[in-house]
């Protein structure tokens, strides 16, 4: 539906951009920032200097840009995992647990496996993928064979993963030589280094681009997970558009009944999707552990940074499209880094980032847009016959798609007061 | 260690302490479920309730005003879901997920902005909810703790039969259920489904907000960042397990209160906190698995 609206023949690029700007996403973002300003006023801070600190902290300097990218990488990666599941109509709220276990299993391999560095790193990543996929598969099996709703299964499995991991790190792997509750250090040869590792090459980059320029900062501060996640994004686009699995998954997300009639078995699809989604989350968990500047498994690292839940918001903002996840992930990464900078400068809580991000999603679900656009949308909507939404209130039928969960849609159609 | 020593009066009291906030939130979720709105925002509403309760009790030195404010704040916060899902046709899951994150962000932000602390806010000026001991009854061995609860605790337990009567023996309850089960039929008979849905969400906000007040002013007298710690999610599971029936909700909530309390006990026997903390969630999962036949039946009924 949204697609149809966006692709309506516009009379050129500018009107189309204008229409997009008046649409739900930009308007939601602006309104969320306005509400964020109200929160700053409550805290006794002038919003203009607040947002100025936020922008300069996230995009103003080379360091800020590198930090934003570094923060966005795990968010985008986990976001891709969530997007693949949501696109297939499977609500995977368990990427946190999947990433935590991936980090634990992969980190264990990275710390203790002997051998040449790159090989160990590769084994660590494979182990992480397997652990994350196994945790995802467990939820899928619970739904398929026992009928436990996957939303609850994935969500509840987060907690044992979280507590188990922190128990293992605190009581079994704790390195007594550090004040952190963390494992031993990972061998430098196993670590994912910065794109240009410290040394003569980094010096050359510094001389060529200047010591503080964005290019230098990105090349010397951001590690190789950037490339891995970029490959993930492209891979997800390819899977969605070009493979049979991607087609079936997309169809299942839109209309499970039809897909079943089309001969696609829902059970195996759920298994495959959850293995994929959990595997990606597990991979990102490992990347967080072995990617510079991190050198250890730290208790609560993935939970406290809230990567998985931010990634969920990012996925909802991007309407499950991989490229959209990448863009939205950069945006939310910038909000987080900017909020931390603002918090340091002005003595505020960096949690303002969560407030703004959540508000964006809430307003987007309200489908707020400038009035003119709405009228057009309604015309467009009335031209299409309403999509019959099957009786699955759990289907995350797109934030912006008009089809809401079954009872709500039906009641409005039957003409209660509007 | 002596396992039998764990089952004593204190355990009953401890079960009740864990039970009340979950029960209140789950009763709210149950009402929403009855009108066909899947409310997984209980976790966020609980947290908003804890913060508002503590903040207002600190400002006014009155636990009554604190609890009332927690209720009102819960209702206002639940409007995000109510208005969005009922009148804007937003996806309730999306809205509720965002609400939960918003609640964590808002409370932590305001904690630093208003009280200039991070992590924990504790102050003698916060007026905690008193325990009302019913003389005589409170001394009965075994079930004594049942008669020395906070007023909110009594209210929560009373609400179970009250809501049962309202749901199954009054016209309001009939309409409520009708809106959830056959919205079309309800609308034909002159019931405005949207109004009932909104009211149900508001009621869940009030109840979960009150649960938050009990958590932060009754169980302890302090606010901790993210202190709802998954209780709202457990309430969601309770509603599903109980298939939105008040008595079932009480039973399922009791089970989790029990798992929670046993976890605390095991800690005092030297088990690490990390493992006992996972207890309630594992119990939840196991129960979900054991009850799976019910889900299958419900599903089959839905498809039919």
Q: What is the DSSP string of B27-81?
A: HHHHHHHHTT-----HHHHHHHHHHHHHHHHHHHS-HHHHHHHHHHHHHHHHHHH
Percentage, residues of chain B above pLDDT 70: 92
Given this model, what pLDDT does residue B270 score? 77
Banded pLDDT at A180 (limits 50, 70, 90)? confident
Given this model, what pLDDT does residue B277 score? 82
Banded pLDDT at A294 (limits 50, 70, 90)? confident
* B109 contact residues in A (CB cutoff 8 A): 39, 43, 348-349, 351-352, 355
Cα–Cα distance, A382 to A378 (Å, whole number): 6
Given this model, what pLDDT does residue B301 score? 52
Query: Model confidence over B9-43: pLDDT tens digits?
Result: 678 888 898 999 999 999 999 999 999 999 999 99
| Mean pLDDT computed over A374-403 | 43
Residue-wise burial string across B237-258, b where 16 or more C-beta atoms lie within 10 A, e elsewhere = bbbbbbbbbbebbbebbbbbbb
Q: How far is B110 from chain A (nearest CA, A)?
A: 7
Which residues, including other chains, have CB under 8 Å from residue A337's CB and lie 6 or more apart? A57, A58, A64, A67, A68, A71
Banded pLDDT at B207 (limits 50, 70, 90)? very high
Greatest mean pLDDT among A136-140, B131-135, B273-277: A136-140
Given this model, what pLDDT does residue A87 score? 94
Q: Extract the tokens encoding B47.
A: 């947290």
B60 pLDDT higher than 70? yes
| Mean pLDDT computed over A44-71 | 92
Query: Model confidence over A306-345: pLDDT tens digits?
Result: 999 999 999 999 989 999 999 999 999 999 999 999 999 8
Banded pLDDT at B298 (limits 50, 70, 90)? low
Per the CB < 8 A criterion, the answer to whether A291 and A224 are in contact is yes
* B301 reaches A (C-beta below 8 A): no
Hey, are the CB atoms on A391 and B303 less than 8 Å from each other?
A: yes
* A348 contact residues in B (CB cutoff 8 A): 109, 112-113
Given this model, what pLDDT does residue B235 score? 94
Per the CB < 8 A criterion, the answer to whether B159 and B27 are in contact is yes
Given this model, what pLDDT does residue B4 score? 56
Higher pLDDT, A372 or A233: A233
Q: What are phi and psi of A245, to 5 degrees?
A: -60, -45
Hey, are the CB atoms on A396 and B95 less than 8 Å from each other?
A: no
Banded pLDDT at A384 (limits 50, 70, 90)? very low
Given this model, what pLDDT does residue A12 score? 78
Burial class (CB in 10 A: 0-12, 13-18, 19+), B267: middle
Pick from A111-120, A231-240, A247-256, A401-410: least confident: A401-410
* A312 contact residues in B (CB cutoff 8 A): 97
Given this model, what pLDDT does residue A262 score? 82
Nearest to A416 among B38, B102, B192 (CB): B192
Given this model, what pLDDT does residue A199 score? 86
Higher pLDDT, A293 or A165: A165
Given this model, what pLDDT does residue B5 score? 56
A389 pLDDT higher than 50? no
Higher pLDDT, B288 or A158: A158
Given this model, what pLDDT does residue B7 score? 60
The CA-based angle B203-B208-B211, given to 5 degrees, is: 130
| Mean pLDDT computed over A41-59 | 92
* A351 contact residues in B (CB cutoff 8 A): 104-106, 108-109, 112
Per the CB < 8 A criterion, the answer to whether B117 and A353 are in contact is no
* A37 reaches B (C-beta below 8 A): no
**Could you report how far apart the first and last alpha carbons of chain A are, in Å?**
22
* B194 reaches A (C-beta below 8 A): yes
Given this model, what pLDDT does residue A50 score? 92
Hey, are the CB atoms on B104 and A354 less than 8 Å from each other?
A: yes
Query: Model confidence over B123-172: pLDDT tens digits?
Result: 999 999 998 888 877 777 777 777 888 999 999 999 999 999 999 999 99
Given this model, what pLDDT does residue A371 score? 66
Given this model, what pLDDT does residue B46 score? 97
Pick from A45-54, A121-130, B181-190: least confident: B181-190
B64 pLDDT higher than 90? yes
Pick from A74-83, A220-229, B97-106, B259-268: least confident: B259-268
| Mean pLDDT computed over A273-281 | 97
Percentage, residues of chain B above pLDDT 90: 59
Residue-wise burial string across B94-127, b where 16 or more C-beta atoms lie within 10 A, e elsewhere = bbbbbbbbbbbbbbbbbbbbbeeeeeebeeeebb
Residue-wise burial string across B268-290, b where 16 or more C-beta atoms lie within 10 A, e elsewhere = eeeeeebbbbbbbbbbbbebbee
A88 pLDDT higher than 70? yes
- Average pLDDT of every residue of chain B: 88
Per the CB < 8 A criterion, the answer to whether A253 and A319 are in contact is no
Whole-model pTM: value is 0.87
Hey, are the CB atoms on B109 and A408 less than 8 Å from each other?
A: no
B262 pLDDT higher than 80? yes
Q: How far is B140 from chain A (nearest CA, A)?
A: 38
Cα–Cα distance, A76 to A318 (Å, whole number): 11
Residue-wise burial string across B177-198, b where 16 or more C-beta atoms lie within 10 A, e elsewhere = bbbbebbeebbeeebebbebbb
Given this model, what pLDDT does residue B187 score? 85
């Amino acid at each position: 539906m949204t697609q149809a609206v966006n692709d309506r023949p516009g009379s050129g690029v500018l009107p189309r951009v204008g229409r997009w700007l008046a649409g739900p996403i930009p308007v939601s973002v602006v309104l969320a920032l306005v509400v964020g300003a109200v929160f700053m006023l409550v805290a006794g801070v002038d919003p203009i200097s607040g947002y100025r600190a936020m922008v300069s902290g996230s995009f103003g300097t080379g360091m800020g840009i590198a930090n934003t990218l570094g923060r966005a990488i795990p968010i985008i990666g986990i976001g891709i995992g969530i997007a693949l599941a949501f696109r297939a109509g499977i609500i995977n709220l368990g990427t946190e647990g999947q990433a935590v276990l991936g980090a634990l299993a992969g980190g264990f391999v990275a710390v203790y496996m002997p051998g040449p560095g790159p090989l160990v790193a590769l084994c660590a990543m494979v182990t992480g993928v397997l652990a994350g996929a196994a945790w995802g598969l467990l939820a899928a099996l619970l739904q398929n064979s026992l009928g436990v709703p996957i939303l609850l299964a994935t969500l509840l499995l987060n907690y044992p993963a979280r507590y188990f991991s922190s128990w293992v790190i605190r009581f079994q792997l704790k390195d007594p030589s550090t004040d952190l509750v963390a494992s031993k250090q990972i061998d430098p040869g196993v670590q994912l280094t910065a794109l240009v590792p410290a040394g003569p090459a980094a010096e050359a980059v510094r001389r060529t681009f200047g010591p503080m320029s964005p290019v230098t900062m990105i090349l010397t501060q951001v590690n190789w997970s950037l490339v891995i996640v970029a490959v993930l994004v492209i891979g997800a686009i390819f899977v969605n558009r070009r493979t049979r699995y991607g087609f079936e998954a997309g169809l299942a997300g839109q209309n499970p009944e039809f897909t079943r009639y089309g001969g696609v078995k829902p059970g195996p699809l759920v298994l495959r999707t959850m293995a994929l989604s959990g595997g990606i989350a597990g991979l990102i968990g490992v990347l967080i552990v072995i990617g510079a500047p991190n050198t250890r498994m730290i208790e609560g690292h993935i939970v406290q940074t809230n990567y998985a839940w931010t990634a969920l918001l990012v996925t909802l903002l991007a309407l499950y499209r991989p490229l959209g996840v990448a863009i939205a992930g950069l945006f939310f990464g910038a909000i987080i880094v900017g909020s931390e900078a603002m918090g340091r400068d002005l003595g505020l809580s960096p949690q303002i980032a969560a407030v703004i991000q959540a508000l964006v999603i809430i307003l987007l679900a309200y489908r707020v847009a400038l009035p003119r656009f709405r009228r057009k949308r309604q015309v467009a909507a009335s031209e299409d016959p309403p999509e019959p939404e099957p009786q699955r209130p759990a289907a995350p039928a797109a934030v912006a798609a008009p089809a809401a969960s079954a009872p709500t849609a039906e009641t409005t159609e039957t003409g209660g007061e509007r | 260690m002596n396992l039998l020593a764990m089952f004593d009066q204190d355990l009953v009291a401890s079960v009740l302490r864990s039970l009340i906030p979950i029960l209140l939130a789950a009763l709210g979720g149950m009402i929403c479920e009855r009108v066909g709105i899947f409310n997984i925002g209980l976790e966020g509403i609980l947290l908003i309730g804890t913060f508002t309760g503590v903040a207002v009790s600190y400002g006014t030195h009155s636990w009554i005003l604190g609890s009332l404010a927690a209720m009102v704040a819960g209702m206002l916060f639940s409007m995000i879901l109510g208005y969005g899902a009922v009148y804007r046709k937003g996806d309730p899951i999306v809205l509720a997920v965002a609400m939960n994150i918003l609640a964590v962000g808002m409370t932590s932000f305001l904690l630093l902005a208003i009280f200039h602390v991070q992590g924990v806010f504790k102050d003698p000026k916060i007026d905690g909810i008193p325990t009302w001991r019913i003389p005589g009854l409170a001394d009965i061995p075994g079930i004594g703790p049942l008669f020395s609860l906070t007023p909110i605790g009594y209210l929560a337990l009373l609400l179970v039969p009250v809501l049962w009567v309202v749901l199954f023996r009054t016209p309001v309850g009939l309409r409520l259920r009708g809106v959830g089960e056959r919205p079309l039929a309800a609308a034909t008979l002159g019931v405005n489904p949207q109004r009932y849905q909104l009211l149900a969400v508001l009621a869940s906000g009030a109840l979960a907000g009150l649960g938050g007040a009990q958590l932060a002013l009754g169980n302890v007298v302090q606010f901790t960042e993210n202190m709802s710690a998954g209780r709202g999610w457990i309430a969601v599971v309770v509603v599903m397990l109980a298939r939105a029936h008040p008595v079932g909700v009480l039973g399922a909530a009791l089970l989790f209160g029990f798992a929670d309390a046993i976890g605390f006990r095991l800690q005092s026997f030297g088990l690490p906190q990390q493992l006992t903390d996972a207890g309630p969630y594992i119990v939840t999962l196991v129960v979900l698995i054991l009850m799976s036949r019910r889900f299958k039946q419900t599903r089959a009924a839905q498809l039919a």
